[in-house]
Amino acid sequence: MINMKKPHFIIKNNFQKSSQKYSNLLTTKILKDVCKRITGHSEYTCEFDNTGYNKGRLATLKYKGKINFISFSENKASGRNSSFQSFPTAIVRYYEERNPKKKLFFYFLPTSGNYETPYFTFMYRLIKTAGAEFLNEEFLTKPIYPFATVEDIIASRDVNKGRNRSNNSTFLTRNSDDSIQIYGKTYGANKKETTILCIALSRITDATINLHQISEKSLSILPKPDLAVIQKLGNIKTYITNQTMERREFEQDDSLRSITYIFNLFVKFGDKKCAFCKCDIPQLVQGAHIWPVAKIKKEPNMSPQKKLKHAINGDNGIWLCQNHHKMLDLDLLKIAQDGKLKVKSGLKKKSVQYIKGMTPITELPKEIVTPNFVEYLEKRNEHLQDSNYCLLA
């Protein structure tokens, strides 16, 4: 019989994809330590539930009308995304709990591996910002500080993106209207990172946050429990993108600032930074088409689906600040097929000097000038006479 006067653990015993049992992993020593840190008492009762499987590497500890959620680390540090797949599930469970007397904790299991990579540290800060307390933070060599501002998260996220460009799960930025934009995938382990990011952001700003869900493998939205929690936060608007919606926007708007197109630019180039002047103020940097959408739409003998494919292709674009975007659209600047920048002949000397002064980069990196990129340049430049331009350098 359960003694409810003592702190009482309830733990799902089964792993989702392993024959291992949590009753073997969470030893008496570990549970005693957890109980002592939360309640101040070492004695507890424990119930291992053998129905279903453990979602979120989670234990609940009930005591004096309070419910405590404890999410445990992996027993071995692994991949950057897989190591944090469980915590979003735990925090969703926490938010679903109707008992107002509740707390959420994270506990490091005594295991091996590098738990303090830059990405892991970034995620710990997000987890703490999202409202979790670290029970045994001394497991790490450095303290964990929550994020204080949106810009703090963006800056830290940018650093980690730079270290590993292969991590294309979520992107966080500001739009030209200063609104906060999240671009998150709906498939695989990456989608879980989006959940933590949304909750953390919502706790540090009252501003409206736009979550753009990037459809992948026929999945157009995040998991329903995650999405329900995100929508209840109050200041996050959620948007869905799919081929039907992209096609409708393509048909109606020649500028086509589609969700998928912007996401593809993030995947190729990383966070917003003008290719010609390195301006990295996200509100001032835009996705500029190389082969303009208006011209793509006029292309004869091409199916609508193929036109859309060209319009949202990441190779058909570049990050440019508002000034350089406008100069490119007005044909004052021209990108040659070798990636070098040219300026229109006949401009006033002062105008050329002004353009040179604001354009420290006059040649695109070779990794940007891919064969596909060059094909789009050819489409863009076919009406421009090369004799009317000279090198800007």
Torsion of CA 21, 26, 28, 34, to 10 degrees: -150
The torsion angles phi and psi of 27, rounded to 5 degrees, stand at -70, 170
State how far the Cα of 44 lies from the Cα of 50, in Å rounded to an integer.
Answer: 19
Domain ranges of the chain: 8-146, 157-241, 265-393
Partners of 219 in beta bridges = 216
For each of the chain's 393 residues, which pLDDT tens digit applies?
Answer: 445 689 999 999 999 888 889 999 999 999 999 999 999 999 999 999 999 999 999 999 999 999 999 999 987 666 555 567 789 999 999 999 999 999 999 999 987 778 888 889 999 999 999 999 999 999 999 999 999 999 999 888 766 654 444 455 689 999 988 999 999 877 666 677 889 999 999 999 999 999 998 876 666 678 899 999 999 999 999 988 766 667 776 766 655 568 889 999 999 998 899 999 999 999 999 999 999 999 999 999 999 889 999 999 999 999 999 999 999 999 999 999 999 999 999 999 999 999 999 999 999 999 999 999 999 999 999 999 999 999 997
- Residue 107 burial (CB count, 10 A): 22
